[in-house]
Amino acid sequence: MREAEDSEFTVLENKTIGRHFYKFRKLRERKAFEVADFLGIKEATYTKYERGESKITIDIIQKVSEFLKVDPIQMISTNPENIIENVNNSPFTFSGNVKTSYVDVKQTEIMMKMMETMMQMNEAIKKILEGK
């Protein structure tokens, strides 16, 4: 695969994802240095991700999502301001302003490409395993 095609799957919308990192971090009441420490990087390096100044890879999304306890797909596709957290563990308890969460069309396309790539990788692994 060419490098340009590769980057399509590993580098996402840096500014959008970075804003999501920031907003989810704030929702979780965590400090940037805490996320950076979990990732094993300097705080200044991490905040560059939040500002969209550094390339955000799937690996970074996975690790930040793990630390913030947010589904990685939600991290890249859902505006954190539209999240309704179920504080009381009841699917019917809502209070305050309830907003509907809409997924951005471009982000959906990126997610679909990622899923297609994962399916292709699974098929390739399956063929390798069957060949042994």
Q: So what's the pLDDT on residue 82? A: 59
Q: Show pLDDT as tens, one digit a residue, over the chain (132 residues).
A: 344 444 444 445 788 889 889 989 998 899 999 999 999 999 999 999 999 899 888 889 999 999 998 888 888 876 666 554 444 443 433 334 444 444 566 777 777 778 778 878 878 888 888 875
DSSP character string of the chain: --HHHHHHHH---HHHHHHHHHHHHHHTT--HHHHHHHHTS-HHHHHHHHTT-SPPPHHHHHHHHHHHT--HHHHHHS-GGG----TTS-TT---S--------HHHHHHHHHHHHHHHHHHHHHHHHHHH-
- What the chain holds in terms of domains, given with CATH numbers, is 3-82+102-131 (1.10.260.40)
